[in-house]
Structure 1
Amino acid sequence: MAFYTSGSFYQQIYESPYKVSLNEYMYVQVSLRRDDSSLVLFLDTCVASPNPHDYADYRAYYLLVNGCPRDNTFSTHVSGSRSYARFSFQAFKFLRAHPSVYLQCKVLICPANDYNSRCRQGCRTRKTRSLGSQHQMATMVLGPITLKDVEKSAVERLEDKVAKVDA
Structure 2
Amino acid sequence: MHMFTSADFTATYNSGNFPLQILPSDRIHYGLSVQSPLRNIELFALDCVSTPTMDPDASPKVTIIQDGCDIDPTLTRDSTRSTDMALYFSIQAFTFPDSVDSNLVYLHCTMVVCLKDDLNSRCREGCISARRRRDVGGDDRFRRDSSNDLQESVTQGPFRILSDQVAVLSYIA
TM-score using structure 1 length: 0.76
Question: Aligned match of 1:119 in 118, 123, 139?
Answer: 123
Letter in 2 for 1:138: E
Within the candidate set 49, 52, 61, 1:50 is matched to 52
Letter in 1 for 2:126: G
What's the counterpart of residue 11 of structure 1? Answer: 11
Q: Is the 8 A contact 2:52 2:96 kept in 1?
A: no
Q: CA deviation at 1:82?
A: 1.2
In terms of mean alpha carbon deviation, does 11-20 or 90-99 score higher?
90-99
Query: What amino acid is the match of 1:47?
Result: V
Q: 2:39 matched to which residue of 1?
A: 37
- Pick the structure with greater CA Rg: 1
**Is residue 27 of structure 1 aligned with residue 32 of structure 2?**
no
Gaps of 5+ in 1: 154-167
- Alignment partner, residue 64 of structure 1: 65
- What RMSD in Å do the two structures reach over aligned CA positions? 2.8
User: In the TM superposition, what is the alpha-carbon distance from 1:88 to its structure 2 partner?
Assistant: 1.1
Shift of 1:24: 1.2
CA shift, 1:42, in A, is 0.5
Identity percentage of aligned residues: 26
State whether residues 50 and 106 of structure 2, in contact with CA within 8 Å, keep that contact through their aligned partners in structure 1.
Answer: yes
Return closer, same or farther for 1:136/1:152 CA change in 2, 3 Å cut-off. Answer: closer
Per the normalisation by structure 2, the TM-score is 0.74
Residue 89 of structure 1: CA displacement?
0.6
In 2, Cα distance between the equivalents of 1:106 and 1:17?
22
Instruction: Give 3-state SS (helix, strand or coil) of 1:87's partner.
Output: strand
Give aligned pairs, total.
152
